[in-house]
Amino acid sequence: MFDVLTVGEALVEIMRPDRDQPLDKPGEFLGPFASGAPAIFAVAAARLGLASAFIGGVGNDAFGRLLQARLTHENVNTAGLRIVPGRSTGLAFVGYTADGRREFVFHLRHSAGSAIDVDLLPAAYFSGIRWLHLSGSALALGDAGRSACHKTLDWTLAAGGRLSLDPNLRPELMPLDEARQALGPYLAVAALLLPTAKEARALTGAADDDAAASRLLGGQERIAVLKRGAQGCTVYTQQARLYMPGFTVAEVDPTGAGDCFNAAFLLGLNSGWDLERVARFANAAGALAVTKQGPMEGAPTVQEIEAFLAQAGRE
């Protein structure tokens, strides 16, 4: 029985060590680091004490072994992790700019990560599942990825679980119009929506955040959270709007911060906390995530978040 299950890409990330080192110029790199939004989320959830499972594919290669070892070490259930013959493990090269933007070059669509096969799992695997968390990037993996997401959603809902959705728009993988179409069925049924404010406006075509959130809620009793990075987040329901400011930290690597935020928000909901406490806790998780180099390295534990919040309360 899993608190959270996610399906999608596990990949290795190789990054520039400093800002303003474009990927189209020769230079040094750091890595490899275990990465991929769903895999980062699965690790972040496990570190927070949630029973976490990951479904995906890796190659029979050194990077695949790295990912297998990392997920296992982090106590993520990997019964759904498949070694795909004849395909290499997914890969991303990342560069950073001084203003916080990132540049990606992906090897993903034809990698082992795009050959997900959930039919190999027994039906009992989904028994008692509480949340399925999907990242929009998983829908960019091609037909197999989309089929896997569709099937896991059907099985989760049939088992009484709920959907948490991070649109995670990546124009390098899927143009916006295609992403809107692919995400449509998931946006319609998600109990928890976790876009950035920019993504919310892009998906809905709304001119401002409040209008975008209203369209995402669609008159349903669910939660839409607009993430704002260092500025925190705004939580919307049919009854309320709550802005929770973020925390000031020294940023080292922003990759994975949103995935850690997502895992922390789900922990808070699972724990029955009020939304103010949930939002503050999730903001702290996202802040801590950026303080270490590597997508998974900064994923915090509950104890680390609580210590951070206690220190912030004294300042």
Phi, psi values for residue 55, rounded to 5° = -120, 125
Rounded to an integer, what is the distance from CA 178 to the centroid of its chain?
20
Give me the pLDDT at residue 110, please: 86
Q: Tell me, what's the pLDDT at 121?
A: 86
pLDDT of res. 108: 83
pTM for this prediction:
0.94
Catalytic position from the list 61, 99, 259, 274: 259
Q: What separation in angstroms does the CA of 295 have from each of 140, 214, 263?
A: 20, 32, 14
Query: Residue 200: what pLDDT?
Result: 97
- The C-alpha angle with vertex 218 and arms to 212 and 221, in degrees rounded to 5, equals 115
Q: What is the pLDDT of residue 100?
A: 75
Q: Catalytic annotation on 210?
A: no
- Report the chain (315 residues): mean pLDDT per 10 consecutive residues: 94 92 93 96 98 96 97 96 94 88 86 87 89 94 90 95 95 90 96 97 96 96 96 97 96 93 98 97 98 95 97 78
**In the chain, domain spans:** 4-314
What's the CATH fold of domain 4-314?
UDP-N-acetylmuramoyl-L-alanine:D-glutamate ligase (3.40.1190)
What gap in Å lies between CA 277 and CA 265, rounded to an integer?
9
Name the token pair of 246. 């973020």
Sign (positive or negative) of CA dihedral 302, 246, 294, 87 = positive
